[in-house]
Amino acid sequence: MLFKPDYTAADVTPEHLFLNRRQLIAGAAALAAGPALAAGPYSTDETPNTYEAITSYNNYYEFGYDKTDPAQYAGALTTDPWSIKVDGLVDNPGTYALADLIGDMPIEERIYRFRCVEAWSMIIPWQGFQLSALLNKLGVQAGAKYVSFETLVRPSEMRGQNGGSIQWPYREGLRLDEAMHPLAFMATGLYGKPLPNQSGAPIRLVVPWKYGFKSAKALVRISLTETQPVTTWNTLAANEYGFYANVNPEVDHPRWSQATERRVGGGLFAGRIDTQMFNGYGDQVASLYSGQDLTKDY
């Protein structure tokens, strides 16, 4: 299908430019709209990728198939006003203006590893809130077992929606216990600035222990369901992209190895790095999958 393995060095940042980046982020976050809490126990202390790298090398098929298409074309998207429909097994269903839905969420910073199924990775400083906070506010009803996410369909502003093999909207989903995990995050900002369009403005999901395709951008619908949601990549090629999509170096993609990855911006001479089980978040999330065979539930 559309994904290809990643074996080239796409961008290069001199090592000295990495220095003090964390301090820069802390400063930028302090200036961001609303109080951003300091990076807490959920953040990595690895050096984040540059803002430029994070916003110029993207997957966002609504705008095209090339990594540079989102940066080039996503500026056309109107992200205000924005509304999100909430439905299914929830106490407070409805169609909410974004500010009414999330205006009271506590904004914090999370510096997460991000690992694409194509075997490249980045370190990204997000701002946003825990998905669990929103779900608790909405009131998840007994019987709900999954959360499904749908993203925007607007071909007039999303040029990639006028053709191609993906059936829009882009869909993703999580099991309810995954969605309630403190690492599952809703991002509204990047580097202390509002989320840029190519990164999923105005709001996207970020699930750092799963392959990047789970982290759906431009969310417009959240549904609490009893049955496992239909998801875009699983529908396109079920043998290549499972519903769980947990980062797992021991389960190769049918067309490439998942044992290693290329850290974007690592420099011309940097080697590949080992991919970690659950993208390095195993201590926190492995218990979600106890008793499951992850070679089958891939």
Min dist CB 195 to ligand MTE, Å, is 9
Cβ distance to ligand MTE smaller for residue 89 or 186? 186
User: Is 158 exposed, middle or buried, given 0-12, 13-18 or 19+ CB atoms closer than 10 A?
Assistant: buried
Q: How far is the CB of 223 from ligand MTE (least distance, A)?
A: 16
Nearest residue (CB) to ligand MTE, 135 versus 264:
264
Task: Select from 213, 174, 186, 173 the least CA-distant residue to 58.
Answer: 213
Buried b (16+ CB within 10 A) or exposed e, 105-136: bebbbbbbbbbbbbbbbbbbbbbbbbbbebbe
Name which of 140 and 223 has its Cβ closer to ligand MTE.
223
- Nearer Cβ to ligand MTE (170/298): 170
User: Considering the complex, what minimum distance in angstroms separates the CB of residue 82 from ligand MTE?
Assistant: 14
The whole-angstrom separation of Cα 213 and Cα 14 is: 29
Query: Measured from the CB atom, is 101 or 264 closer to ligand MTE?
Result: 264
DSSP string, 195-207: PPGGGTTT-EEE-
The Cα–Cα gap between 127 and 211 comes to: 19
Minimum distance from residue 215 beta carbon to ligand MTE (Å): 5
Which residues would be at the binding site for ligand MTE (CB under 6 A)?
A: 58-62, 116, 151, 170, 199, 212-213, 215-218
Least gap, CB of 152 to ligand MTE (angstroms): 7
- Minimum CB distance to ligand MTE smaller for 181 or for 217: 217
The nearest distance, CB 291 to ligand MTE, in angstroms, is 29
Q: By C-beta, is 96 or 112 nearer to ligand MTE?
A: 112
Tokens, residue 195: 């989320």
Closer to ligand MTE by CB, 62 or 108: give it: 62
Minimum distance between the CB of residue 142 and ligand MTE, rounded to whole angstroms?
A: 30
Q: How far is the CB of 167 from ligand MTE (least distance, A)?
A: 12
Joined together, the tokens standing for residue 47 give 């050096």
- Amino acid 181 reads H
* Nearest residue to ligand MTE, by Cβ distance, number only: 212
